[in-house]
Structure 1
Amino acid sequence: MIAALRCIYQHAIADGFLPESANPAIRVPKPRRLASTRRALTDAQLSQVSAIASTTGNDPELDTLLLRLHVETACRRGGALALRPIDLDVEQCLIRLREKGETVRWQPVSPTLMQNLVEHGQQRGGEDRRGQLLRYRTGKPITRRRYDYLWERVGKHLPWVAIQGISTHWLRHTTLTWVERNFGYAIARAFAGHTGRNDAGSTSTYVRADIHEVATATAALTGENHPLVETSH
């Protein structure tokens, strides 16, 4: 709220409605952001969530695809919802993710996930290559409410999910923690799509991982060969 009010007053000053000295938002201290309570899920917990998602609800096929997409790529909800058929590079097993901050990146995926995404688009999206990829059986594009429904349903079957407030972003933590532990910080940072210097300081300028290294991590994570790993040797 404080950040929003500061923005409003800055625009008012820039447009000449107020002098800079009359900005009360500057004098209000902004509370320190608390550390996130999110953490990586264990293999057992992730298996439980997947089992419930794939056996309950009105569209378990869709929910299973959503979970695999997020676990395999660590993408955000916005990136998944913005995905289009035209963003699928089938030959190289890459998907184009457009996420917050207007960032765009190509993320490696397993051949199985790529096949599932292609089939999903063909069955539910028709010929619209630039339309949203993820859709209900009716062809209607999904929204963030699908995620709310998914986690609410899983929480009814798994009390710990509801109690701890598990959400899609926990899957991102889970995957990135695994990548960092097994492949190091630089590859985990690239896997996450972090590009700003404030994510890691100036050192990140010298330790950037390339897409082949991210593909190698993806191959290890999924247990499937990846085209970029094969062609990089």
Structure 2
Amino acid sequence: MRQFAEQARELAVVRRNSRGGQSAAEHCVAALRSVFSYAVADGLISEDRNPARRVAKPRRLTSPRRALPEARLEDLYEVAARTGNDPALDTLLLRLHVETACRRGGALALHTDDLDEEQCLMRLREKANSLRWQPVSPTLMAHLTAHAAYRGTRTGGQVLRQANGTPISRRRYDYLWGRLGRHLPWVATQQVTTHWLRHTTLTWVERHFGYAVARAYAGHADRAGDAGTTTTYIRASVTEVATALAALTGEPHPLADAGSLHRDDPNSYP
């Protein structure tokens, strides 16, 4: 099994963001463990004779993603707004991910019945079947509802759509970041993707509002051993997340504390 994992590492497809096949080897070991866990569950072998348990997973490498500085964000917005076949959609995508720090899957799963216009909340469905209500600014909510209405989204339909009214897919993101990389060499060189926007927002929230609020803002689930048992007692409320959002965008939010930061505060983030 160790030899098989090493073979998977050596034969991994080399892409621009490849890291020596480490991920391929890790996934290989995970797949073997899964297969043998079914063998144990079906009574074909006993747990103490499960050979996959004795194969260590390769250590996961540190992610190269990091928070982008303000000037880089402005460059992304500027290029997205003046290039491409649908600047309105692309700038909306960027703002959506910068404001909410949502994953790509959460944006693609967004439907009209997930938008609470009165309270400026959007329901996000992300990996591991997680679900949460995420505060958004009144401006973003207005743009999302207008986008859906203008592009012919029916009640309960997917919000984000192409200019011809068809729902977008992951390919839209590939097209967007490929285009940004052609105009901004640093995007292509560092393999910047949507997830970098998540890092950017959550880093800012953590620096200004602390770990608990950043954790809630990210929608991270509580897991045993995740940063210690103290996380059980420091869960942030939706009010605290909305307060961080109000400081981030410089717009008041209906669920935020009255004393939240605004645009003229030195800690606000454009």
Q: How does 1:4-83 map to 2 (within 5 A)?
A: 4-20=31-47, 22-83=49-110
Aligned to 2:256: 229
- The structure where helix makes up a greater share of residues is 1
Separation (CA, whole Å) in 2 of partners of 1:24 and 1:215: 49
CA drift at 1:11 = 1.0
- Superposed CA RMSD: 1.7
Question: What amino acid maps onto 1:78 in structure 2?
Answer: G
CA distance in 2, matches of 1:232, 1:16: 61
Q: Give the distance between the partners of 1:20 and 1:125, measured in 2 at CA.
A: 55
- In structure 1, stretches of 5+ residues that fail to align are none
Contact persistence 1:71–1:171 (CA under 8 A) = yes
In the alignment, does 2:157 pair up with 1:131? yes
Q: Would you say 1:93 and 2:120 are equivalent positions?
A: yes
Cα deviation for residue 24 of structure 1 reads 3.0
Q: Does the CA-based 8 Å contact 2:111-2:157 persist in structure 1?
A: yes
State the shift of 1:194 in Å. 1.1
Q: Which moved more, 1:133-142 or 1:8-17?
A: 8-17
- Does the 8 Å contact 2:240/2:257 carry over to 1? no
Percent identical among aligned pairs is: 65
What is the aligned partner in structure 2 of residue 3 from structure 1?
30
Counterpart Cα distance in 2 of 1:26 and 1:106:
39
Worse overlay, 143-152 or 87-96: 143-152
Match of 2:211 in 1: 185
SS at match of 1:227: coil
Work out the CA distance in 1 between the residues paired with 2:152 and 2:200. 30
Does the C-alpha gap of structure 1 residues 31 and 180 become closer, same or farther in structure 2, counting only changes over 3 Å?
same
Q: Is contact 1:212–1:232 with CA below 8 Å preserved after alignment?
A: no
Which residue number corresponds to residue 189 of structure 2? 163
Partners of 1:125 and 1:133 within 8 A in 2: no
SS in 2 for 1:177: helix
Quick check: which has more Rg, 1 or 2? Answer: 2
Q: How many angstroms apart in 1 are the aligned matches of 2:150 and 2:226?
A: 39
Deviation per CA, 1:191-230: give whole Å up to 9, x if none: 0111223443211111111001100110110111101126
TM-superposed deviation, 1:29 = 1.4
- CA distance change for structure 1 residues 205 and 230 in 2, over 3 Å: closer, same or farther? closer
- Whether 2:167 is the aligned partner of 1:141: answer yes
For residues 147 and 199 of structure 1, the distance between their equivalents in structure 2, rounded to whole angstroms, comes to: 31
Q: Which amino acid aligns with 2:174?
A: D
Q: Structure 1's 22 and 230: CA in aligned 2 closer, same or farther, altered over 3 A?
A: closer
Name the SS of the counterpart of 2:162 in structure 1: coil
- Give the structure-1-normalised TM-score: 0.94
Q: How many matched pairs?
A: 232
The answer to whether residue 236 in structure 2 is matched with residue 205 in structure 1 is: no
Q: Does the 8 Å contact 1:191/1:214 carry over to 2?
A: yes
